[in-house]
Amino acid sequence: MEKNNIQTENVLLVTPLEWNMIVNREKWVVFQNEISEKLKQEINDDFPNSKAACIDETFYLKDKETGEVLGEANGYEVYYLLYNVEKENGYGNSSIFEGIVKARYYAVKNLYYQWCSTKSLKPNPNEGWFKSKKFNKYLDQIGWGDNYAVFINEVIKY
């Protein structure tokens, strides 16, 4: 199985199921183990304390298994989530971990508000995403995880 290595170009690797969800506007975030060095630098420059960045990048979406280019999308935010902690250096550094916690919080919050919008629901500040069974089911469905979350929109299918 191919690793999610993205070094020189803006490529997001997706499964066929993820691609269908993206095209049907059911998924607005792509999780990757690795992203380009340019995006990593933007995270460090934009919001280093919260491990996030506002971006304006075009990404090619490729099938994870075949490498076929399926389409493209505009990326507007990227978060460093550090879910594969055993591979990361400095995990014990509390200042790094504090930023990771903020990144996870804001990434889930962003996704929750988008999910509410598409479902024509008003976000419930008393319930939030952590108590919403429907939203938690959605998180399970999209496969929340990996080191980086790239939020996308304006998908063009090839």
Predicted TM-score (pTM) of this structure: 0.81
Task: Please give the residue that has the higher pLDDT: either 40 or 63.
Answer: 63
For residue 16, pLDDT beyond 90:
yes
Structural domains counted in the chain: 1
Q: What is the DSSP string of 18-32?
A: HHHHHHTTS--EEEE
For residue 11, pLDDT beyond 50:
yes
Domain contains 134: yes
Can you tell me the distance from the alpha carbon of 40 to that of 70, in angstroms, rounded to the nearest whole number? 24
Domain contains 87: yes
Domain contains 69: yes
- Scan for tokens 């995880």, then name that residue: 145
Please answer whether residues 19 and 157 qualify as being in contact, where contact means their C-beta atoms are separated by less than 8 angstroms: no
Domain contains 2: no
Q: What is the DSSP string of 48-117?
A: TTTTEEEEEEEEEEEETTT--EEEEEEEEEEEE----GGG-TTTT-HHHHHHHHHHHHHHHHHHHHHHHH
Domain contains 131: yes
Please answer whether residues 155 and 26 qualify as being in contact, where contact means their C-beta atoms are separated by less than 8 angstroms: no
Please answer whether residues 105 and 79 qualify as being in contact, where contact means their C-beta atoms are separated by less than 8 angstroms: no
Residue 13's CB is within 10 A of a number of other CB atoms, namely: 22
Q: Print the domain residue range for 45.
A: 11-157
The mean per-residue pLDDT over the stretch 107-120 comes to 90
Domain contains 1: no
Of the listed ranges 4-18, 19-33, 35-49, 127-141, the least confidently predicted one is 4-18
Domain contains 84: yes
Please answer whether residues 130 and 141 qualify as being in contact, where contact means their C-beta atoms are separated by less than 8 angstroms: no
| 44-80 tens-digit pLDDT | 888 777 788 899 999 999 999 999 999 999 999 999 8
Domain contains 5: no
